[in-house]
Structure 1
């Protein structure tokens, strides 16, 4: 358990141990959910944008396909019209 002290201005400084556990860095945001019995739950707010999310997957073979090409591939797969290099 980590104990924090409230200042005369009603402020609390989160200790490094807490910030590290939540994965919070300078500039990040924290959500506080108020729960019954005078409790609260802290959660870090995910940062970044949708581009960062999709870029995290990588594309080592530099493959790009349109939605139509993806749909065609799905339909061909379901129809059994797709052969793989290791198929006899």
Structure 2
């Protein structure tokens, strides 16, 4: 278990092992997630890193118009009474 001291300014130094585990370098940003009295430290990722995250191999990308049509169709189908 790693630990560090918090200064009077609320600052601390992340232990080397923690920085290595997260792949942190000087200038990187971190995010803090508080859940049930515990804090999780995550390496912040730029939005550009999300490109391709939902890729579907072998399938063509769907346009925004196609997405809108599918949503509209689903909404209309949900309003039709069952036969």
**TM-score, scaled to structure 1:** 0.49
Q: 2:35: which partner in 1?
A: 35
- Give the superposition deviation at 1:12: 1.1
- Give the superposition deviation at 1:44: 0.5
RMSD between aligned residues: 2.2
Q: Does 1:45 align with 2:44?
A: yes
Q: 2:6: which partner in 1?
A: 6
What SS does structure 1 have at the residue aligned with 2:25?
A: coil
Q: Separation in 1 of the partners of 2:48 and 2:26?
A: 17
Q: Separation in 1 of the partners of 2:23 and 2:4?
A: 18
Q: Separation in 2 of the partners of 1:34 and 1:23?
A: 21
